[in-house]
């Protein structure tokens, strides 16, 4: 079978590797250089039960607690049960994880927020994502597959199919048959395929402050929506508690707090002790909002991450990359606390999938942050993201040849998302969009702010004067901004990464995943079937 994988983070690479080793003809498409993705910036590590004093049940329980009542229990069980084997696969492919005392000694491990055990594995201190990315790229490059760098997904190619479920279409009447892409020089082309795997990551560029790289513009979720695919839980965006409060907001790993660093306000008070019994090791949404409240109380000034008790030598050894970043910004964190602020980090919502990455559009798979598997619920447990990429990327790569397409991923009850107002002409550039969503759809929301954002987004268009890639990215961000705001308005409670100041309590009746889709009139048209194509 011909398979196109879009995205070159951990999820895309492992899916491409798995599909290619099973004999499929694979083309790997990525918007920038092959290594550029959220994966390479993951510092903390990968959570997996690899030690005798830990259990899968404990990992499952921790994940469910962090997910605030919205996790899919079966998906979580798959994640935590199959995760250790996927880590072993990566070790066999050349991933070098840190050991306690050199090669041959036990694997080193750390503990992060909301984990009941130390199970977070890391590589080169705080370069786990980069190390994993390099190992997977080496594995992929050893195989005879195509690689298309500097190539952006514009839309999915969709053809009409017979409505009978026996045709392998799940009765949807549509099937993906490839991708429409744009190259760095502005030229366009199409890649036909029997199956498409989306692994394009999240959409951190929706917000003014994010730990994500510039490529994270939600291209896969936006293209899937335009193809009629169901998405879910778009309101749940995780804001990492500790990004360095400088331009670019580089991430300071949660593992730093796991090692003993504490948070202090401008007066030096350790304020998280008054917020949650686990203080700095509370779930991420709790810590992020605790920081936001402390910042508000001191006029918006950053709070401080105090790791001085660990000492400069230990910090440089355990977190060499962060140490270099801090030094570049003039900070010596071994002797002084450093200013931090929350920043958009991870999207729990995305394209709704089953346990093998299948979406509501036959032939289309989604893996990694672009997908909503249900494992993260309303708030991702620290270091579960790389694990999800490995587990579900592997599963999708193995499921491609299976023609059966279960109807369980089709969301007949999906709510309809808003589309631009007819005759709209107001241009909203990316900086303005990011500011609007940061203020009105960010860490803490309310109806007034969300309705203001919805009104401004309803009549907004991207700036068509920019480069072709940038214009497409801005289109995607605008469409996803409308979707996030609509979902946030619809959930009238606070849960996990979704906090409403006008509905501060969690409502047990809303402990359900919410699916969304675009109206039929907003979808990309089906293409004319070609000879020999799936139809």
Q: Which of 182, 181, 238 is nearest to 210 (CA)?
A: 238
Instruction: Tell me the H-state helices in 230-348.
Output: 254-258, 284-297, 312-318, 320-328
Residue with tokens 């023609």: 403
Q: Which of 131, 116, 146 is nearest to 19 (CA)?
A: 146
Q: How far apart are CA 152 and CA 27, in angstroms?
A: 13
| Joined tokens for residue 523 | 């979808």
For 175-224, the DSSP string reads EEEEEEEEETTS-EEEEE-SEEEE-----GGGSSSBSS-TT-S-HHHHHH
Q: Which of 366, 355, 378 is nearest to 71 (CA)?
A: 378
Q: How far apart are CA 52 and CA 106, in angstroms?
A: 12
Say which of 40, 284, 352, 395 is annotated catalytic.
Answer: 284
Q: How far apart are CA 123 and CA 58, in angstroms?
A: 23
Strand order in the sheet with 2-6: 146-148, 25-29, 2-6, 195-198, 364-366
Alpha carbon distance, N-terminus to C-terminus of the chain = 15
Q: How far apart are CA 284 and CA 345, in angstroms?
A: 11
Q: What is the CA radius of gyration of the chain?
A: 22
Written in H, E and C, the secondary structure of 291-305 is HHHHHHHCCCCCEEE
Q: Which residues contact 476 (CB under 8 A, 6 or more apart)?
A: 203, 217, 218, 219, 221, 222, 223
Pair 511, 228: CB distance under 8 Å: no
| Joined tokens for residue 376 | 């993260």
Strands in 53-173 per DSSP E: 120-121, 146-148, 151-160
Please say if 284 is a catalytic residue: yes
Instruction: Tell me the H-state helices in 39-113.
Output: 56-66, 73-92
Q: How far apart are CA 477 and CA 40, in angstroms?
A: 22
Q: What φ, ψ does residue 13 adopt, rounded to 5°?
A: -65, -40
CA torsion sign for 381, 248, 257, 263 is: negative
H-helix or E-strand spanning residue 344: strand 338-347
Pair 523, 182: CB distance under 8 Å: no
Pair 178, 227: CB distance under 8 Å: no
Active site residues: 284
């Amino acid at each position: 079978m011909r398979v196109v994988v879009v995205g070159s983070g951990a999820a895309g690479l492992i899916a491409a590797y798995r599909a290619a080793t099973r004999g499929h003809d694979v083309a790997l498409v990525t918007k920038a250089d092959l290594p550029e993705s959220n994966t390479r910036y993951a510092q903390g590590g990968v959570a997996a039960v690899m030690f005798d004093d830990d259990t899968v049940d404990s990992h499952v329980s921790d994940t469910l607690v962090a997910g605030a009542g919205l996790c899919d229990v079966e998906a979580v069980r798959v994640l935590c049960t199959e995760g250790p084997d996927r880590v072993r696969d990566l070790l066999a492919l050349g991933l070098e994880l840190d050991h306690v005392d050199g090669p041959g000694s036990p694997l080193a491990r750390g503990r992060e927020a909301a984990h009941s055990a130390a199970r977070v594995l890391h590589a080169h201190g705080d370069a786990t994502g980069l190390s994993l990315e390099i190992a997977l790229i080496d594995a992929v490059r050893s195989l005879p597959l195509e690689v298309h760098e500097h190539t952006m997904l514009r839309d999915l190619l969709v053809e009409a199919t017979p409505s009978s479920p026996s045709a392998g279409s799940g009765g949807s009447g549509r099937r993906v048959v490839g991708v429409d892409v744009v190259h760095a020089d502005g030229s366009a082309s199409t890649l036909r395929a029997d199956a498409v795997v989306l692994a394009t990551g999240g959409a951190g560029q929706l917000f003014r402050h994010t730990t994500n790289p510039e490529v994270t513009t939600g291209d896969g979720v936006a293209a899937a929506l335009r193809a009629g695919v169901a998405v879910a839980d778009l309101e749940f965006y995780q804001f990492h508690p500790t990004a360095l409060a400088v331009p670019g907001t580089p991430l300071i790993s949660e593992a730093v707090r796991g090692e003993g660093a504490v948070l202090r306000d401008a007066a030096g008070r350790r304020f998280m002790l008054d917020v949650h019994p686990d203080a700095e090791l509370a779930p991420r949404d709790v810590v992020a909002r605790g920081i936001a409240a402390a910042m508000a109380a001191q006029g918006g000034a950053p709070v401080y991450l105090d790791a001085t008790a660990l000492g400069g030598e230990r910090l440089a050894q355990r977190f060499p990359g962060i140490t270099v970043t801090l030094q570049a910004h003039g900070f010596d964190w071994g002797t002084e606390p450093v200013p931090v602020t929350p920043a958009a980090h991870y999207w729990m919502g995305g394209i709704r999938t089953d346990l093998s990455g299948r979406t509501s559009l036959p032939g289309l798979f989604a893996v990694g942050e672009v997908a909503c598997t249900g494992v993260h619920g309303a708030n991702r447990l620290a270091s579960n993201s790389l694990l999800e990429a490995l587990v579900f990327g592997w599963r999708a790569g193995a499921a491609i040849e299976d023609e059966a397409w279960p109807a369980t991923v089709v969301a007949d009850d999906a709510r309809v998302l808003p589309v631009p107002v007819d005759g709209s002409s107001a241009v909203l550039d990316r900086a303005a969009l990011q500011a609007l969503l940061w203020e009105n759809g960010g860490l803490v929301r309310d109806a007034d702010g969300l309705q203001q954002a919805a009104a401004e987004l309803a009549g907004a268009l991207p700036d068509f004067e920019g480069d072709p890639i940038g214009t497409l990215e801005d289109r995607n961000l605008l469409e996803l901004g409308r979707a996030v705001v609509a979902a946030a308005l619809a959930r009238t409670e606070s849960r996990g990464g979704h906090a409403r100041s006008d509905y501060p309590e969690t409502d047990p009746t809303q402990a359900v995943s919410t699916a969304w889709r675009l109206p039929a009139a907003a979808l990309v048209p089906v293409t004319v079937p070609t000879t020999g194509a799936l139809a």
